[in-house]
Amino acid sequence: MDLKDTGGFKVVKYKNMVYNKKELKIGVRIEMEHTKSKKVAEKIAKDHLKEFSNYYSKGILPMEKRLKKLNLKKLKGGIKKDVKI
C-alpha cells in the first residue's frame, strides 16, 4: 500500500483493515472512558473505524465540541444543566 492511498498518514493493519494511526490513538483514548482495558478500547475503536475511517476526528470530537458550546449557551440563558429539552 502506498502512503498516497492513505492521505499520507501512517497506518496499521488489523484483520485485513487499514487504520490511520492518529485516528486509532484518539479512538483508544476516547473509548477508555468505557473500559479499563486498553485492549478492549482498541477493539471498540477499530470497530468504529471499520465503519467510518474518520469516526473520531470528523464525527465524535466535533460533535462533542458543538454540544459543549450549546450547553454553555443554555446555561448562560438560565436553563439548568439537568433539564431535558
| pLDDT tens, residue by residue, 18-69 | 889 999 999 999 999 989 999 989 989 998 998 888 999 999 988 888 888 8
Q: Are 28 and 38 in contact (CB under 8 A)?
A: yes
List CB contacts of 4: < 8 A, sequence separation 6 or more: none
> Which amino acid, one-letter code, is at 50?
K
Residue 81 resides in a domain? no
Range of the domain at 65: 3-76
The least confident of 30-34, 61-65, 70-74, 79-83 is: 79-83
pLDDT at 32: 94
* pTM, 2 dp: 0.62
In a domain, 63, yes or no: yes
41 versus 4: the higher-pLDDT residue is 41
Length of the chain: 85
Q: Total structural domains in the chain?
A: 1
DSSP 21-54: HHHHHHHHHHHTTT-S-HHHHHHHHHHHHHH-TT
- 7 belongs to a structural domain: yes
